[in-house]
C-alpha cells in the first residue's frame, strides 16, 4: 500500500480509503449489513488500508434516520483495531434545526462508533442552503469546541454545489481537509479540478469521492466507449483507469471507494500498489481524453449550469435535475442518478415538485425547453422509484 500526507494534518493515509456506504447487505435491506463486510474490513487492514469513511445516515432506509454503517464500523474496530486506523464521519447537516443539535449528533456518533474521538469530522454535503443554515446555528464555534475538547481531531466538509460557494466555504474557516466528488468526467463539475487546486494551494487535505461515478464509469459501457479502451496498451480494467487517473495527480491525497465485495477490495488494493503520482504516460492521458470526448458527445441536455434559471419558485434544483437526466443518457446507468434523485426528493428539490410555471425558461441563457426536460426527468425517475417501492 502507498501512503500520502493528508495536507496540513501531516497524517499519512493510504491512497485507497474504504468508503463504508455500499457494504454488502442481506435481502436487499440497507440496514442489515452482511457479516462478510467485517471480513472485507479485516482484509483491508491486513493490506494497509488505514482510512475508513462513514456517515450518520449510511445504510439507512431514509436520509433522516440513523444508519447502521457507523454502528457496524464501531463493532468491527473494537477488538484492538481502533488505534491503528483513521475514522472519518460526517455531521448530518440537513437534520440540524438548532444549535443543540450539533452536539447531540456528534455525541450520538461517538457512541455509535464506540470511540472517544473522531479523526476526521466533516460537515456533510454542503450546499447553499445547508451551509447558510449551519452558519446561522454557530457551526464554526461548535467545531472549535469539539476540537478543543478532543472529540474530533481534524475538521472538514464534503461538498455538492458550485465552485464559487466552495471557495467561499474554504475561506471561511481554518479547515484541515475537504471531501469532493472528482473523476475524469467530473473535472468541471461542483468543486472540480479548480476546487482541487484551491485546496492544494491552502495545504488542505484532499479526499476524493465518487471515483467511478457510482459505477457509471465501469458498468454498462457503451460500445463506442469500450472500443476506445480496447486500444489501450497495456490493458487495464475500467476501475484501474479511473483510479489511476486520480492517483496520478499529486494534489490528491486519498481516494475513497465504496466497495461491496471482497473481490472489489482485492482488485482495488492491487491497483493501489501502482498508484504513484505522475505515473501515467502521455499516450495514456491522451486515451483518457478521447474517452471523455466520446462521453461528452452523448449529452442529452446542453445545460451549462450557469444558474440563471434559479431559484425555482417551487424549490426544484433545476441544474442538478437536468444533470441527472444527462447522466442517464451519457452513462446508460440508472443506479447512480436514481440515488441522487431520491435524495433530492427527500429535500423537496426533485423534478417531481415542478409546477410547470415556466419562469426558468424565460431566464435560460441556452433557451432550453426546461419544462419539457424537467417533466421527462420526473417521468423517468419517479416511475423508477415507484417500481422499486412496489
Claim to verify: residue 270 and residue 326 sit in the same structural domain: no
Tell me whether residue 52 is in a domain.
yes
CA distance 378 to 386: 11
- Name the domain boundary from 280, 305, 331: 280
- Name the domain boundary from 229, 263, 280: 280
Residue 255 sits in a domain whose CATH number is 3.20.20.100
| C-alpha torsion sign, points 307, 208, 9, 280 | negative
Claim to verify: residue 248 and residue 371 sit in the same structural domain: no
pLDDT at site 63: 66
- Name the domain boundary from 280, 310, 330: 280
Claim to verify: residue 264 and residue 132 sit in the same structural domain: yes
Range of the domain at 322: 318-389
- Cα→Cα distances 348→96, 314, 361, Å: 17, 9, 20
The C-alpha torsion from 64 through 50 and 146 to 117, rounded to 10°, is 90
Claim to verify: residue 93 and residue 142 sit in the same structural domain: yes
Claim to verify: residue 324 and residue 276 sit in the same structural domain: no
The number of distinct structural domains making up the chain is 2
Q: Which helix (H) or strand (E) holds 157?
A: strand 152-159
Lookup result for grid cell 462513514: 54
SS3 content of the chain, % helix, strand, coil (to 5): 45, 15, 40
Claim to verify: residue 348 and residue 272 sit in the same structural domain: no
Claim to verify: residue 272 and residue 355 sit in the same structural domain: no
Tell me whether residue 267 is in a domain.
yes
Ranges in the chain, pLDDT < 50:
none
- Cα→Cα distances 351→78, 191, 331, 360, Å: 43, 23, 20, 13
CA distance 28 to 354: 31
Quickly list DSSP for 313-325: TT---HHHHHHHH
Claim to verify: residue 81 and residue 223 sit in the same structural domain: yes
Claim to verify: residue 179 and residue 232 sit in the same structural domain: yes
| C-alpha torsion sign, points 114, 127, 217, 235 | negative
Tell me whether residue 313 is in a domain.
no
Tell me whether residue 70 is in a domain.
yes
Tell me whether residue 379 is in a domain.
yes
Helix (H, G, I), strand (E, B) or coil at 129: helix
Claim to verify: residue 95 and residue 222 sit in the same structural domain: yes
Tell me whether residue 307 is in a domain.
no
Closest CA to 269 of 26, 10, 43: 43
- Looking from the CA of 269 toward its CB, the CA atoms found within 13 Å total 21
Claim to verify: residue 272 and residue 344 sit in the same structural domain: no
CA distance 327 to 216: 8
CA distance 81 to 183: 31
Tell me whether residue 298 is in a domain.
no
- Looking from the CA of 149 toward its CB, the CA atoms found within 13 Å total 13
Claim to verify: residue 273 and residue 328 sit in the same structural domain: no
The C-alpha torsion from 229 through 337 and 196 to 304, rounded to 10°, is 90
Tell me whether residue 310 is in a domain.
no
- Cα→Cα distances 358→117, 294, 318, 355, Å: 50, 33, 12, 8
- Looking from the CA of 202 toward its CB, the CA atoms found within 13 Å total 19
CB 142 within 8 A of CB 151: no
Amino acid at each position: 500500500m502507498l501512503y500520502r500526507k493528508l495536507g496540513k494534518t501531516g497524517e499519512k493515509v493510504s491512497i485507497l480509503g474504504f468508503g463504508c456506504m455500499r457494504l454488502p447487505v442481506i435481502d436487499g435491506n440497507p440496514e442489515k449489513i452482511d457479516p462478510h463486510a467485517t471480513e472485507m474490513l479485516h482484509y483491508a487492514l491486513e493490506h494497509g488500508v488505514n482510512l475508513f469513511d462513514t456517515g450518520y445516515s449510511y445504510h439507512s432506509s431514509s436520509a433522516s434516520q440513523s444508519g447502521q454503517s457507523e454502528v457496524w464500523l464501531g463493532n468491527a474496530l473494537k477488538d484492538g483495531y481502533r488505534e491503528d486506523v483513521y475514522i472519518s464521519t460526517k455531521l448530518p447537516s440537513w437534520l440540524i434545526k438548532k444549535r443543540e443539535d450539533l452536539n447531540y449528533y456528534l455525541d450520538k456518533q461517538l457512541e455509535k462508533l464506540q470511540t472517544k474521538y473522531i479523526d476526521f469530522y466533516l460537515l456533510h454535503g454542503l450546499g447553499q442552503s445547508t451551509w447558510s443554515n449551519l452558519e446561522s446555528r454557530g457551526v464554526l464555534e461548535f467545531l472549535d469546541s469539539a476540537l478543543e475538547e478532543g472529540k474530533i481531531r481534524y475538521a472538514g466538509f464534503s461538498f455538492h454545489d458550485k465552485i464559487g460557494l466552495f471557495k467561499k466555504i474554504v475561506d471561511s474557516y481554518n479547515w484541515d481537509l475537504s471531501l469532493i466528488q472528482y473523476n475524469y468526467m467530473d473535472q468541471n463539475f461542483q468543486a472540480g479540478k479548480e476546487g482541487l487546486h484551491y485546496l492544494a494551494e491552502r495545504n488542505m487535505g484532499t479526499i476524493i469521492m465518487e471515483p467511478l461515478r457510482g459505477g457509471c464509469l465501469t458498468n454498462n459501457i457503451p460500445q463506442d466507449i469500450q472500443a476506445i479502451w480496447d486500444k489501450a496498451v497495456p490493458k487495464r480494467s475500467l476501475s484501474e483507469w479511473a483510479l489511476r487517473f486520480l492517483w496520478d495527480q499529486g494534489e490528491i491525497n486519498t481516494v475513497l471507494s465504496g466497495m461491496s465485495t471482497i473481490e472489489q477490495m482485492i482488485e482495488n488494493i492491487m491497483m493501489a500498489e501502482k498508484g504513484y503520482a505522475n505515473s501515467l504516460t502521455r499516450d495514456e492521458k491522451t486515451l483518457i481524453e478521447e474517452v471523455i470526448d466520446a462521453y461528452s458527445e452523448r449529452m442529452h441536455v446542453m445545460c451549462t449550469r450557469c444558474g440563471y434559471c434559479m431559484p425555482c419558485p417551487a424549490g426544484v434544483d433545476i441544474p442538478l435535475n437536468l444533470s441527472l437526466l444527462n447522466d442517464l443518457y451519457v452513462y446508460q446507468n440508472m443506479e447512480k442518478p436514481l440515488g441522487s434523485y431520491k435524495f433530492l426528493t427527500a429535500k423537496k428539490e426533485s423534478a417531481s415538485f415542478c409546477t410547470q410555471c415556466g419562469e426558468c425558461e424565460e431566464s435560460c441563457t441556452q433557451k432550453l425547453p426546461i419544462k419539457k426536460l424537467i417533466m421527462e426527468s420526473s417521468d423517468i425517475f419517479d416511475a423508477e422509484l415507484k417500481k422499486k417501492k412496489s
